[in-house]
Structure 1
Amino acid sequence: MGDIAKGVLGGGWALVVGWILPTALNLAVFLFTVAPSLHRPPFLERLLPTGQAALPLLVAAILLGLVLNALQTPLYRFLEGYALWPTAAYERGCRKQRARRRRTADRLALAASASPIRRALLSEKLSRYPADDTQVAPTRLGNAIRRFEEYGYDRYRLDTQVLWNELTSAAPDWTRRQIDTARTNVDFFVALLYGHLAVAVTAFAALAASDADHMVLIATGVSLSALIPLWYHASVAATDEWAAAVRAMVNLGRKPLAEALGLVLPKDLHDERTMWHLVTRMSRRPYAPAARDAFAPYRAGPTDPPTPTA
């Protein structure tokens, strides 16, 4: 029972809260507002008898939640502006986000006499952009995620996109749990957003039915469409905790990662950045003989054998 509880409170809990729960909410809205206006085949009438929709709803929520969880990478990539975006739209979005970033930075610089709360809000908005202007993405969610994707490389030349599995394996357990918990909040709003979009489109499409309840369908479609920007803003704000968790893992996991790779973390920050640059490059490229001399200053010596006792 203890192992089961750990599994539920670990990755299983993130799956339930992040994907299955919002899917169940969207299915419930669909069932009570859109489904009555749709023509249902006879076999669905047998599977979904009146007053007994709880079990089919639960099963459908679990199955669809698992599907969304499996598709989370393309779902995120579209909202980040990387997938299915025409080149012109991508470049226009990047220009718009760079301009917004500059305006926020200018407003923060001019807010020296403003209240601390005002400066904190502007600083929070600015912190949701990557440090490097060339890393700016075409959407706010893309930038909010990109800021911690490039954090390790910007500070230490440790590319977390390349060394993610190694870093999460070597970092303390509690940092990994923090990341999973923080990401669950973003997953929840992303799943809710996509679900609202699907139900709203279905509601508007159902208006073509002859016996449809037009008032309910219009109210449902308009309400859900109005909530989509709210969930998008919430997903962007929820990345703050995710970014803090990744930052903690990079800062605290560098030394265990270096030791796990058989390296010694240099005392000088410049040397450390050089070392992580070499590790990242070696992970991405085929081995070259020059790597032997390049890694020599950072390689840990062999451990002394234990001294036998009498």
Structure 2
Amino acid sequence: MANLLTSGAASLGRLLSVNLLPTALSALAVWIFTVSGSFTGRSHWQALIPTALKADAGTVLLFVVGVVLVSVILEPFQIRLVRMLEGYWSNWTPSARLANVMIARHQQRVQRLRETVRLPLAPREDVRSPLQVRMAARRRYSRQVAARQRAQDRLARYPFVEDDNLLPTALGNALRSGERKAGERYGLDTIHSWPRILPQASPQLAGMANSARDALDANASLCLHFFFVGVLSLIALVDEPLTLWVPAGAFALSVVAYSGAIAAAVAYARILCVVYDLHRFDMVKGLHYKQPESWQEEKILYDSLNTFFRRAEVTYESRRDIGGQVGQPYDHGTDKEDADPNAGKP
């Protein structure tokens, strides 16, 4: 609630797209099916118009407050909702079994895509052949090039390491692919280092990353709420065959929103790579360590930082070990002055 009252334009836009509008969609569906009596029998849609005309300011205010209240309650669970769509289902036995089945399906898809990329292209055309034969060969070559490009684009949504890194959903694989291709190319744990490198990015690049993340969260939230509306309308309208286009449309919009979340995840992954390419040394500087002078020193430093980031309780000795492994002591600019009261005096 405090974020809603004190947010700026960017934060307010995120609250509207990620929390308020999707929640209002579900609340409006519940109100429509309840007022029309769809849960207790056949729907009386004409009951909606008089009720809407008689709606006073108090009813509208109550509805808005209810939507805001539900949005505030659901906001802390946004990360969990996205992770559920990513396919982290190992905490429950039935979902874990389903995850194994879907991972095997993605492994087969990756194998087919790799085979498509490796297929040799047919000859473009033979100038000595008749015109019709040359045109047919040119069309066949164009189709093969387009198929290979589509396979490469879809293959880029999967982690490029081993197949055991796959997740059961396309969204999860797209995000994991971004993690593998961003910090882990340089030896940094992306999940733990990202909150520390994002403040070092330029305002333009940080704004692009936040916009892509907001688009991902908004589409993920809309996907879940459209799915909820589809299930709710299917329960309410199961005895009215002529109105079953409502749940069908809701499920279709849920699929569209999920596809939008995948597209946003791919864009987000590209921005992640750019941030690590340009600002990983700024993160090292922000942590008050000297810059590594070689790739070997950089790798050793990042391995130590990964261990440092993952520790819940870190002592001063462990902080010294990070720099000590590359011969660079942990040193702030003010430490020398604290050690020597006369430092810097004439």
TM bucket, shorter chain: 0.7 to 0.9
Bigger CA drift: 22-31 or 145-154?
Answer: 22-31
- Indicate how the Cα distance of structure 1 residues 105 and 9 shifts in structure 2: closer, same or farther if over 3 A, else same: farther
Residue of structure 1 equivalent to 2:113: 104
Q: 1:218 aligns with which of 244, 266, 278?
A: 244
| Structure 1 match to 2:290 | 264
Larger Rg: 2
The residue aligned with 1:156 is 186
Distance 2:27 2:9 in 1: 24
Residue pairs, 1:179-198, within 5 angstroms: 179-198=209-228
Range with greater deviation from structure 2 (64-73 or 114-123) = 114-123
Farther off after superposition, 295-304 or 126-135:
295-304
Q: Does the CA contact (< 8 Å) of 1:148 and 1:243 recur in 2?
A: yes
Shift in Å, 1:296: 4.1
Rounded to whole Å, the distance in 1 between the matches of 2:189 and 2:298 is: 13
Indicate the structure whose relative CO is greater, using CA pairs within 8 Å and at least 6 residues apart: 1
Matching residue of 2:67: 61
Q: Does 1:242 align with 2:248?
A: no
SS in 2 for 1:249: helix
Displacement of 1:49 after TM fit? 5.4
Deviation at 1:144, TM superposition (A): 0.8
1:202 correspondence with 2:232: yes
In structure 1, C-alpha distance between the alignment counterparts of 2:212 and 2:74, rounded to whole Å:
18
Q: 2:160 aligns with which of 131, 143, 147?
A: 131
Moved more, 7-16 or 190-199: 7-16
Corresponding residue for residue 90 of structure 1: 99
Residues matched between the structures, number: 296
Structure 1 residue runs without a partner (length 5+): 41-47
**CA-to-partner distance for each residue in 1:111-159, whole Å, 9 max, x for gaps?**
6565455443322211111122232111111101111223344311111
Distance 1:5-1:170 versus aligned 2 partners, 3 A rule:
farther
Structure 2 partner of 1:12: 12
Shift of 1:293: 7.0
Q: Is the 8 A contact 2:183 2:276 kept in 1?
A: no
Q: The residue matched to 1:165 in structure 2 has which SS?
A: helix
Match of 2:83 among 66, 77, 80: 77
After TM superposition, give the deviation of residue 57 of structure 1 in Å: 4.2
Q: Which residue identity does 1:274 align to in structure 2?
A: I
Q: Which runs of 5+ in 2 are unaligned?
A: 41-49, 123-140, 338-342
- Which of residues 143, 147, 150 is equivalent to 1:121? 150
Identify if the C-alpha distance between structure 1 residues 172 and 38 changes in structure 2 by more than 3 Å, giving closer, same or farther. Answer: same
Matched, 1:228 2:254: yes
CA RMSD between the two structures? 3.4
Contact 1:18 1:186 in 2 (8 A): no
Please identify, of 161-170 and 141-150, the stretch whose mean Cα deviation from structure 2 is larger: 161-170
Q: Give secondary structure in 1 for the equivalent of 2:8.
A: helix
